[in-house]
């Protein structure tokens, strides 16, 4: 029942908010910043917070080491001029291990918290469009990762468009398991 409710919510969100990517038609290129796990919570996992912090870094590296598989440009049909993982690596490195795990399966981020995450990204303030994927809840019991896809103005850090999404987690090993959910998110761009 929960899965059906989640599916209906996501389908309704996509219809209501439309994932209208018309703003990308005018863009020559975008800057991609990777996955920001700094506000994420993990539910039901046996691995330690330290293991997750290492996995988060390794997942972001997949955008470079397995660029064909994790090709954001191909799905968006717009050139990615820069893949800059420095900003997310910096905020992910500052994750407090004591606050990573949760017992709340309804954990999510508010619109204001999403805005704060974008403003906290240490990116260069230059004109352009940036894309970051913000992780919310990694639910091992449901084998599902929930995320927020966020396009923003790299100069002002204003959100241009964002939407909630998620993906089924699968694979062997901690990195591959949660990278599976990111792969699904990218395929749904």
Reported as a single tens digit per residue, the pLDDT across 35-57 is: 999 999 999 999 999 999 999 99
Q: Which region among 9-13, 81-85, 92-96 has the lowest average model confidence (pLDDT)? A: 9-13
Q: Phi, psi (5° rounding) for residue 8?
A: -65, -40
pLDDT score, position 127: 86
Q: Could you count the other beta carbons within 10 Å of the beta carbon of residue 95?
A: 17
d(CA 185, CA 178): 11
- How much of the chain exceeds pLDDT 70, in percent? 88
Average pLDDT of the segment spanning 96-119 = 97
pLDDT score, position 21: 58
Beta strands 41-43 and 79-83, pairing class: unpaired
Q: Is the pLDDT of residue 140 over 50?
A: yes
- How much of the chain exceeds pLDDT 90, in percent? 80
End-to-end C-alpha distance for the chain, whole angstroms:
26
Q: Could you count the other beta carbons within 10 Å of the beta carbon of residue 23?
A: 11
Q: Phi, psi (5° rounding) for residue 135?
A: -80, 140
User: How many Cα neighbours within 13 Å face the side chain of 35?
Assistant: 30
Compute the mean pLDDT over every residue in the chain, rounded to the nearest whole number: 89
d(CA 36, CA 63): 13
Average pLDDT of the segment spanning 125-146 = 95
Residue 5 banded pLDDT, cuts 50, 70, 90 = very low
Copy the structure tokens of residue 90.
């910096």
Predicted TM-score (pTM) of the model is: 0.88
């Amino acid at each position: 029942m929960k899965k059906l409710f989640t599916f209906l919510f996501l389908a309704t969100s996509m219809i209501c908010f439309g994932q209208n990517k018309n703003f990308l038609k005018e863009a020559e290129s975008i800057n991609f910043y990777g996955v920001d796990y700094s506000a994420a919570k993990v539910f039901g996992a046996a691995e330690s917070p330290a293991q997750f912090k290492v996995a988060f870094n390794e997942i972001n590296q997949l955008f470079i080491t397995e660029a064909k598989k994790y090709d954001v440009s191909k799905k968006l049909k717009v050139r990615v001029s820069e893949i800059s993982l420095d900003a997310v690596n910096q905020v992910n490195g500052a994750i407090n291990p004591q606050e990573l795990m949760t017992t709340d399966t309804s954990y999510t981020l508010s619109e204001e918290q999403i805005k704060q995450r974008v403003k906290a990204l240490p990116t260069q303030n230059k004109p352009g469009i940036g894309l970051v994927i913000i992780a919310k809840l990694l639910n091992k019991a449901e084998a599902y990762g929930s995320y927020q896809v966020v396009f923003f103005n790299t100069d002002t850090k204003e959100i241009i468009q964002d939407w909630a999404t998620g993906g089924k987690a699968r694979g062997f090993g901690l990195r591959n398991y949660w990278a599976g959910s990111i792969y699904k998110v990218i395929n749904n761009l």
